[in-house]
Amino acid sequence: MYKVAHSVKTSLIAAFRYLLKPLVRMALKNGILFSGFSAALKGAYLDVASRQLAAAGTVVSAEGICVITGIDKTEAETLLRGDPHSNEFALAVQSDSPLPRLLNAWHTDTRYTGPYGVLRDLPFERSGSTDELTFSDLATEYCPGISPRVMLDELLRTDSVQAVGNGVYRASTRSYVPDPLSDESIRLVAQVVHNLCETLEVNLRPESAGGNGLMQRIVYTEAGLSPAAMQEFNLYLRERGQLFTEQVDDWLVNHEDSEKTPNSCLTGVGLFHYLVNTGDENDLDKYFASTGDKNV
């Protein structure tokens, strides 16, 4: 079969698409739209490019950011002046989603609230000649152009809305957060993924060749395990992994500096058990199956 040669850039983009999929799944489960994710990606480009310019002794400027990243100069100036972590930024990202807007309207529009501010239960659509307001009315008014049924299905899936019978629905929450996470758990995920990617990036540098990089080992099975063997493997890893991490922790405690200094190296070892997502893996295999023997 004829294979098409790809550049290193296109192969990296295919790899980025693959490795971003778990993060996108996490984003979608927590109501983060593409606009919010892309804003975070743009902020990461700005941070890294700024540090590269500063490390090279170059003035960090919008022009320099534009040359390195391709971000428009005017937008780069705005990003350099602003704080991507401000409340205004967070609100702008949240406001892009139609679901929080719909739920907020259900709770604040007096036409959809009863006496003393108690929310009205809404039928999905109007029956007969009644003039009662419906969920479809609410959705059409506040989220035009989006199917009311699609939005209701998502709100039901996330328990933001409950069916109370006879085609009538009740708002359970005012905010749309499909899988709420704590700040601590989000920070942990960010650090683990970042540190793993950082190790991989360091080991791909030319100066890391010949064993000069960081230790990176992966052990896996080619043909897979039976469900019974998988359970046994999970127990085996928990026992042996716990022993290994305790031994490493003892070593670090015995060699740790008495206090943090500018020369201190913050380091550690991560150990994790993974299961291959075959759908994502197949997408990546299809790309590299079409590539030539050499990058061009």
The answer to whether residue 245 scores a pLDDT higher than 80 is yes
Using 50, 70 and 90 to split pLDDT, how confident is the model at 170?
very high
Amino acid, res. 196: L
Most confident of 68-72, 81-85, 150-154, 228-232: 228-232
Q: What is the tens place of the pLDDT at every residue in 186-241?
A: 777 778 888 888 888 888 888 998 889 998 888 889 899 999 999 999 999 999 99
Specify the pLDDT at position 85: 47
Judge contact between 3 and 293, C-beta under 8 A.
Answer: yes
Helix 62-69 crosses helix 73-81 at what angle (to 10 degrees)?
120
What is the overall mean pLDDT for the chain?
82
Using 50, 70 and 90 to split pLDDT, how confident is the model at 88?
very low
Give the Cα separation of 175 and 169 in Å (integer): 16
Least confident segment among 84-93, 100-109, 191-200, 261-270: 84-93
Residue of 70, 72, 48 lying closest to 60 (CA atoms): 48
Spell out the domain ranges in the chain.
97-171
Specify the pLDDT at position 93: 42
Specify the pLDDT at position 8: 77
Q: Hunting for tokens 């716990």 — which residue is that?
A: 242
Q: What is the tens place of the pLDDT at every residue in 109-119?
A: 888 887 776 78
Whole-number percent of the chain with pLDDT over 90: 14
Helices (H) and strands (E) in the chain, counts: 11, 3
Reported as half-sphere exposure (CB side, CA atoms, 13 A), residue 244 has a value of: 11
Residues 91-99 have a mean pLDDT of 56
What one-character DSSP code corresponds to residue 70?
-
Judge contact between 36 and 96, C-beta under 8 A.
Answer: yes
Using 50, 70 and 90 to split pLDDT, how confident is the model at 5?
low
